[in-house]
Chain A
Amino acid sequence: AQSVAQPEDQVNVAEGNPLTVKCTYSVSGNPYLFWYVQYPNRGLQFLLKYITGDNLVKGSYGFEAEFNKSQTSFHLKKPSALVSDSALYFCAVRGYNTDKLIFGTGTRLQVFP
């Protein structure tokens, strides 16, 4: 069965410092992996995806993610956090032969000035 784990409910980081939001997954076959961000009372906004190829994926707003097949991880990173990055972040996985997207429980990122 497919699953996604986001082990941290909340991540706190000072503005200007690097940030990491963790995600591990379990899926049969090669995964399609996604990161989304959600601001209060809004829908999810797509940040980036990994389908195949380079393990370092670059996305919107300066975010990037590193795919690690041996550790089945897809951590979200940003070199320098902004207060405006404070939001709820979701990792999601889709197996090769299914249309269902499985979401993690979300990680709240709080960036302090």
Chain B
Amino acid sequence: DGGITQSPKYLFRKEGQNVTLSCEQNLNHDAMYWYRQDPGQGLRLIYYSQIVNDFQKGDIAEGYSVSREKKESFPLTVTSAQKNPTAFYLCASRGELGNQPQHFGDGTRLSIL
């Protein structure tokens, strides 16, 4: 079945450590997105990419980095510069037409040890 796969489902980070969250899609979508979800705050956009080898900062990009080397993959690195990384991270993708909805993976929950 087509869809978006995020791994791992749970991740723990030590102080000063970078961690990378995986997002893979087999929907043949050009656009991909990373969101952070905190209780009571909805979803906030971290980074997005509309095409391979190109990406843009979202509203809360500080302390995060991404790459888009392949159409199907959009990994997110949470760096040690992100001082409050504990959150639920969601990856999404969208098809070509502008009015298409975003499709979401099942998320990665990141916690600090």
Which residue numbers of A lie inside 8 Å of B, CB to CB?
9, 32, 34, 36, 41-46, 49, 51, 90, 99-101, 103-106
Determine the chain A residues whose CB is within 8 A of the CB of B4 once the complex forms. Answer: 43
Task: Closest A residue to B102 by CB, please name it.
Answer: A101
User: Quick one: CB contact mask for B38-78 with A, threshold 8 Å, 1 for yes?
Assistant: 00111101001010000000100000000000000000000
Residue of B50, B58, B101 touching A34 (CB-CB under 8 A): B101
Query: Are the C-beta atoms of B90 and A44 separated by less than 8 Å?
Result: yes
In the complex, 15 of the A-B residue pairs with CB atoms within 8 angstroms, ordered by the A residue number, are A36-B104, A42-B106, A43-B4, A43-B92, A44-B43, A44-B92, A45-B104, A46-B101, A46-B102, A49-B99, A49-B101, A100-B45, A101-B102, A103-B43, A105-B42
Tally of contact residues, B, Cβ under 8 A? 24
CA A37 to CA B102, docked complex, whole Å = 13
Query: Are the C-beta atoms of B109 and A41 separated by less than 8 Å?
Result: yes
CA A90 to CA B92, docked complex, whole Å = 15
CA A105 to CA B102, docked complex, whole Å = 17
